[in-house]
């Protein structure tokens, strides 16, 4: 398996060996321990797609796919968690808010874990069927809906919500999350419905 990013082959070999040594322990305990993310941070994998100027590897999407395939041979759950966290970090770097860049730094150092809030009780993880909406106001965003499967372990989590963005003029909504591509929702003006569950995940809008 070849990578376009310099040294990623050697880095992935090192991390693969780490996964192989610990995967059974994690499967038995059914946990994703912090040292999984700390090792990924040590290897630079939490900054996989983060631009080099921000301390990341600057890897292309094709390398992310190749890495996910390689790591999944040892632990699909660990590979998914790692890719998910680095996804949030790389998208935070696209923001013009200083706090978002601070959060990205925390994810790259494994002091904060990145997580996307996609799954819903009725829609599952079918992005085209989600019903949670985000409506922009003068002061921020109003998020309305429910998310399921959010992390509840006692560690700092940075949730990146994936709602439908509701245009201001009409009642329609697009399931294509421009919030995810541009800058994640940074602060909730008002939350409606069961989104209060974010408090159990120690996630905050700031």
The CATH number of the domain holding residue 127 is 2.40.110
Enter the pTM of the model. 0.72
Among 78, 111, 144, the domain boundary falls at 111
Query: Would the pLDDT of 54 be above 80?
Result: yes
Q: Is 178 a residue whose pLDDT tops 60? A: no
Last residue of a domain, one of 111, 139, 166: 111
The answer to whether residues 87 and 131 belong to one domain is: no
Q: Give percent above pLDDT 90 in the chain.
A: 35
Domain count within the chain:
2
156 confidence band (pLDDT: 50, 70, 90): low
Q: Which of 2-11, 22-31, 184-193 is predicted least confidently?
A: 184-193
Domain containing 158: what range? 115-201
The percentage of the chain sitting over the pLDDT mark of 70, rounded to a whole number, equals 71
Residue in this structure with the two tokens 């040590």, named with its chain if needed: 42
**Do 65 and 132 share a domain, yes or no?**
no
If you average pLDDT over residues 60-73, what whole number do you get?
Answer: 95
* pLDDT confidence band for 95 (50 / 70 / 90): confident
pLDDT at residue 66, as a whole number: 96
Mean pLDDT (whole number) for 82-90: 91
Q: End of a domain among 84, 111, 138?
A: 111
Could you tell me which residue, 2 or 177, shows the higher pLDDT? 2
pLDDT of residue 179: 34
pLDDT of residue 196: 29
Tell me what pLDDT residue 28 has. 83
């Amino acid at each position: 398996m070849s990578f376009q990013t310099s040294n990623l082959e050697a880095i992935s070999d090192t991390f693969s060996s780490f996964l192989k040594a610990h995967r059974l322990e994690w499967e038995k305990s059914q946990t994703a321990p912090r040292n999984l993310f700390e090792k990924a941070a040590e290897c630079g994998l939490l900054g996989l797609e983060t631009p080099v100027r921000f301390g990341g590897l600057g890897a292309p999407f094709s390398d992310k796919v190749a890495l996910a395939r390689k790591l999944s041979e040892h632990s699909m759950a660990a590979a998914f968690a790692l890719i998910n966290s680095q996804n949030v970090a790389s998208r935070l770097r696209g923001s013009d808010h200083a706090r978002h860049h601070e959060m990205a730094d925390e994810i790259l150092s494994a002091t904060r874990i990145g997580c996307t809030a996609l799954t819903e009780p009725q829609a599952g993880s079918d992005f085209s069927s989600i019903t949670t909406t985000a409506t922009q106001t003068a002061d921020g965003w109003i998020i309305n809906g429910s998310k399921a499967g959010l992390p509840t372990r006692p560690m700092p989590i940075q949730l990146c919500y994936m709602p439908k963005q509701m245009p201001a003029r009409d009642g329609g909504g697009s399931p294509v999350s421009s919030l995810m591509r541009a800058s994640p929702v940074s602060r909730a003006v008002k939350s409606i419905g069961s989104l209060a569950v974010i408090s159990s995940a120690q996630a905050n809008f700031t």
